Amino acid sequence: MLTKGRIKELSTRYIAQVNSIAASKDHPNPYLSHRLFHSSPKPSKTDQHFSFQTNLLRQDEYVVSLHSQKIAGVANSTEKVIAAAPAPTLSPAVNMAAVLNAAAHARNVTAEKAALKEIVPLLEKRPSDVGLILTIAHLYVLTGNHAAATHLLESFFKRLEQSGSASDLDVRFAPGLVATLVSLYAQQGRPGASRAELAKAAEYWRKPHKSKTEAPSKALMVAAGTALLDTHNAENTKVAGDIFKGLYDQDDSDRAAIAGLVAAYSLTDPSSIPSELTSYLPEASRLVSDIDAAALETAGVPLGSLFTTSVAPTSTASKRSAPKSVPTKAKRIRKARMPKDFDPNKKMDPERWLPIRDRSTYRPKGKKGKKRAEGLTQGGAVAEEKAPAQQQGGQQKPGGGGGAKKKKGKGKW
């Protein structure tokens, strides 16, 4: 008969062994691991695991089941966990179940693009699933498509802001999700968007909000205040001072809050810096004690406008001088484009681009061509042609009316 202590000892060994099995990358026999996982005795009702231990064991069970090709069972089990919780949620157990549900729908595919084709359609059924959205964003990052991951998170945040629900806004400004979007902005080289996102999150947690959720740890506030100080804007610097002042009121020994408060107030209102904080600042002579100004100058320190003797022009007229007539250089013609008998000293014919009939040097050959050319001259006299059917005295030729042509007879062969 097993005693309570023996069961607890076996349960502890079982948890350690199961964690080692689930965390190992080598699975020579996943079916044996699945059998070993379920062979441990269950703890008694009075000696249950904590919630975080239960969540870890459940995750291990799902992972072992996926390795042993029990895909349908994992998909059904995780869907029940997801459906039982409201969406969106920040619960680790629900979001991890969503990640494993996505892995089950991907059917253990190792290629990221192939997994995306199977997982992305799930967004239509669960558009507010945090675990699913983070899984898809992670796959986008692995494929190098940072823009798609950023757009996915931005659209998700926009939907949460439009809902106006207190729980949705808590998820929207969750430090982990904000950090994920800020890291994507940093990967794309968008520092302005990172500062705006951090400032928005800090403003939400500083002011009273509808939900009873407490403000997150100081890491988010320190990051937001530092980002606002980097903008060198008077308004942003004032907001950063308020952020660091709140952190200093909570913990007056926090070095990050002290440094941020002194940096912000030294730009906006130096007189409001508490006297006890100035003792933390090092003296100026200590900071420049190991600096040789002469050596820096000889090494090539650029001189500012105070040391230059040149006077800037005062009027705009002197800045804009009249354009000088610069002689244009003759274009050089390539040898490949030159004709065989080309003479550079000979002047080219300006009418060389016109058709031959339109040039002034055109002279038609033959008598008919000359007469036709004379008739086409603009402003010249027009010659009157006699009708072939008229004769002297107004008589007509026999065999038909005036101007009528004779019909040709049929020839004999």
Tokens linked to 251: 């913990």
Furthest-apart CA pair in the chain: how many Å? 155
Write the single-letter amino acid at 104: A
In the chain, count of helices (H) and strands (E)?
20, 0
User: How far is the C-alpha of 51 from the C-alpha of 39, rounded, in Å?
Assistant: 21
Q: What pTM value is reported for the model?
A: 0.60
What integer pLDDT is reported at residue 153 of this predicted model? 94
| pLDDT, tens digit only, all 413 positions of the chain | 455 555 556 556 666 666 666 566 665 777 777 777 777 667 667 777 777 777 787 888 888 888 888 888 888 988 998 888 888 888 888 999 999 999 888 887 778 888 888 899 998 889 999 999 999 999 999 999 999 999 999 999 999 989 878 888 889 988 899 999 999 999 999 988 998 898 888 888 888 777 767 767 778 888 888 888 888 888 888 888 888 888 888 888 888 888 888 888 888 877 777 777 777 777 778 888 888 888 888 887 565 554 454 444 454 444 555 555 666 666 777 777 777 777 778 887 888 888 888 888 888 777 666 566 565 555 555 555 544 444 444 444 444 444 445 555 555 54
User: How far is the C-alpha of 337 from the C-alpha of 341, rounded, in Å?
Assistant: 12
CA dist list (Å): 288 to 281, 283, 294, 399 = 14, 9, 13, 128
Tokens linked to 261: 């408060």
Q: How far from chain centre, in Å, is Cα 405?
A: 85
Collapsed DSSP state (helix, strand, coil) of residue 390: strand
What integer pLDDT is reported at residue 180 of this predicted model? 93
Q: Which of 84, 45, 82 is nearest to 62 (CA)?
A: 82
Write the single-letter amino acid at 399: G
Collapsed DSSP state (helix, strand, coil) of residue 396: strand
Q: Which of 133, 136, 142 is nearest to 111 (CA)?
A: 142
Backbone angles phi, psi at 260, to 5 degrees: -65, -40
49 close to 19: Cβ distance less than 8 angstroms: no
What integer pLDDT is reported at residue 240 of this predicted model? 86
Sign of the alpha-carbon torsion through 277, 279, 285, 289: negative
Distant-in-sequence, close-in-space partners of 119: CB < 8 Å, separation ≥ 6: 102, 105, 106, 132, 135, 136, 139
